[in-house]
Structure 1
Amino acid sequence: MFYIKFMYVLISIFIVTAIISNAEEVNKNKMILGGSYIEEDFTCDIETENDNMNQYYSLERFFRPSNMIILNDKRESRSYDFYGKKYSEINLPKDLMKTPEDTIINYFSILREAANPLDDTKTGCGSLGDGKVPYPIAYNFFTNSYKSKYSYKDYLKSFENKLHINLIKMNKVAPDENKPNDLKYFVELEVIEGSSESIGLFAYYYGYIYLEKEENQYKIKDMKYLCENYLCAPYHGWRYDAESFISIEYGDWCSLVDGKINIDQNGYEKKAYFKDKNKNEYYVLFYQLTNGVDIKIADYKKNDEGMWELIYIYPEKCLDNKKNLNH
């Protein structure tokens, strides 16, 4: 077993760098749900047995749909005043964007009943919700710079075949290292889409929403989404589970893990605790998606005062260093 794992890690040094570099590359030519589409890498990991496979894989979680409470359930009666108007004729009440959370909840509450069906992909038995009427309203939750980046025509097209949207997860998360002052939120969406068989299909997306204050309102300045893949994680690889992710990327690649990895789960939030050989303490925050996949959110290290401090660890750089050492 040790030999198999050793050979696997050795091979990974030569192939995974290319995989990671493409894993979350923004496809600038494609837009989805009003945001940039990120093409997630679904390359299957090398088939290998894991020492603790039965311990930290419960495959059932990868097949089950969400039972999360819907967050975008606000009925904003004032939005009806804007029905039938062009986006340029709409001036939203300022209290809809009073806080970043207000902005996100109200934005998706307006979009919840929106539908942009295609002729060849259908579902339902007649008209669908509010049709295209909510889209001009939702477009006004954006900053001027985001409107300049994506026209209303592009925005509307990005919702093709999206017939109902539920916001099921929303959390403020740590900013990107190169944009420390950004307001960044994680979201997960449950979307009903049409099909050629005229049945509704559930699709799940997750991503990040960035906001900034403009004219004393918190407006959306960027959105990035990834689609959730099913039947990949339960059959292939270690990258979808928090413990195995830490064991290989932080342990095998970066030699940061000395001893046991402890997982603390509260709902869909997971924290993976570990120590290095110098007894420094770390934890990595993960969120578990509807498809059961654990995605990394942020790294933390305990400082000299015993407080958890946000840090940024890039295991792929450790892998690059190992690759260079082998040349």
Structure 2
Amino acid sequence: MGGELSDQNGLDATAEPSSYRAVDAETYFRPSCLPVLNTAIESFFFNPYIDRPWKSIHLPQSLTLAPEKTLLHYFSILREAENLTDEKAGGCGTVGQARIPFPLAYAFFSPACRKKHSYKAFLASFEGIGQTHLIKLNQLEGLRYFVEIETIQGSNQNVTFFAYYHGIVQLEKHNGRFLIERITWYGEDFCVPLTICGSTMQKPALISNLAAGASLLKKGGPSGRMVMSKQLILTGQTAVITVLSIFSSRMVQTC
């Protein structure tokens, strides 16, 4: 980056005096201007579940009585779950609720989903993640939902960073409860808008394939909120402009 990189232990907090003033911590803590939606679980909720394996956990039925309640409670439980490692490290000491929430979150999966994904694989999928914020939740059709999350992830360079993912969640009703049948995630690469113009302006076929197959988003509805685009057919330079416009709106919405 053009200078010397030092860890934060080298900062001298007394070098420059400052006066205290009350601020909203999230103003500086998060790059996204979107509110955090997964706030339905308080920290004391985890007390009875400390050190309990997932097989012995029975979720309160109230957490899964409605589809959106299931998703809000699932992501609320995961909000302060962390699976940082030596190679993907962050924080100082215990971060959030550590790994206590993961068995609880796994209990939101349907029996069929748990057959496909073991708890070990479920836990490994969170490797390097220190916190998870749900910032978008929209129903698509039936029990299918569009979600977007903001994560704080560790690294081996004495820094942590924010990474964003959007995904599709399919729920199913099982014994009167709404459980998660499947989640498919797509990572968000904010360098894509910077490279499309230079490297693909002369490749309209590539742009058409990108637009047709990449689950892009567009603004829709009177509220202007982001919704899933079911079909997008583009050709030539119009495709480049349209795709750039979509990515630009995504970045404005997220940053």
TM range, normalised to the smaller chain? 0.5 to 0.7
Percent of pairs with identical residues: 35
Question: Is 1:233 the counterpart of 2:200 in the alignment?
Answer: no
1:166, 1:133 → 2: CA distance?
Answer: 17
Residue pair 1:72, 1:108 contacting (<8 A) in 2 also: yes
Structure 1 partner of 2:16: none
User: For structure 2, which runs of at least 5 residues remain unmatched after alignment?
Assistant: 1-29, 199-203, 213-218, 230-245
Cα distance change on mapping 1:288 and 1:80 into 2, 3 Å: farther
Cα distance change on mapping 1:150 and 1:224 into 2, 3 Å: same
1:125-162 Cα offsets, whole Å, 9 max, x none, are 22111111110010000100000000001101111001
**Which aligned runs of 4 or more in structure 1 are off by greater than 2 angstroms?**
75-80, 262-272, 286-293
Structure 2 partner of 1:75: 41
1:15-50 Cα offsets, whole Å, 9 max, x none, are xxxxxxxxxxxxxxxxxxxxxxxxxxxxxxxxxxxx
Q: Secondary structure at the match of 2:196?
A: coil
Q: Secondary structure at the match of 2:35?
A: coil
Give the Å deviation of 1:206.
Answer: 0.3
Structure 1 partner of 2:162: 202
1:79-129 Cα offsets, whole Å, 9 max, x none, are 421121000000000010011100000001001000001112212122111
The letter for the 2-side match of 1:96 is L
Match among 268, 281, 291 for residue 225 of structure 2: 268
Give the Å deviation of 1:233.
Answer: 1.3
1:190, 1:115 → 2: CA distance?
Answer: 14
Structure 2 partner of 1:166: 133
Match among 123, 127, 143 for residue 183 of structure 1: 143
Structure 1 partner of 2:232: none
The letter for the 2-side match of 1:224 is T
Structure 2 partner of 1:291: 251
Tell me the matched-pair count: 192
Q: CA RMSD in A?
A: 3.2
Which structure shows the bigger proportion of residues in helix conformation? 2
Q: Secondary structure at the match of 1:104?
A: helix
The letter for the 2-side match of 1:75 is I
Structure 2 partner of 1:193: 153
Residue pair 1:169, 1:186 contacting (<8 A) in 2 also: yes
Scaled by the length of structure 2, what TM-score is found? 0.67
Question: Is 1:131 the counterpart of 2:98 in the alignment?
Answer: yes
Cα distance change on mapping 1:265 and 1:287 into 2, 3 Å: farther
The letter for the 2-side match of 1:207 is G
1:185, 1:291 → 2: CA distance?
Answer: 21
2:103, 2:173 → 1: CA distance?
Answer: 21
1:256-300 Cα offsets, whole Å, 9 max, x none, are xxxxxx98774433799xxxxxxxxxxxxx89875359xxxxxxx
Cα distance change on mapping 1:101 and 1:270 into 2, 3 Å: closer
1:45-77 Cα offsets, whole Å, 9 max, x none, are xxxxxxxxxxxxxxxxxxx94210000011244
Structure 2 partner of 1:7: none
Cα distance change on mapping 1:74 and 1:226 into 2, 3 Å: same
The letter for the 2-side match of 1:269 is M
1:200-245 Cα offsets, whole Å, 9 max, x none, are 100000001000100100000000000000121144159xxxxxx9
1:190, 1:196 → 2: CA distance?
Answer: 20
Question: Is 1:211 the counterpart of 2:171 in the alignment?
Answer: yes
User: For structure 1, which runs of at least 5 residues remain unmatched after alignment?
Assistant: 1-63, 175-181, 239-244, 254-261, 273-285, 294-327
2:195, 2:248 → 1: CA distance?
Answer: 17
Cα distance change on mapping 1:215 and 1:233 into 2, 3 Å: same
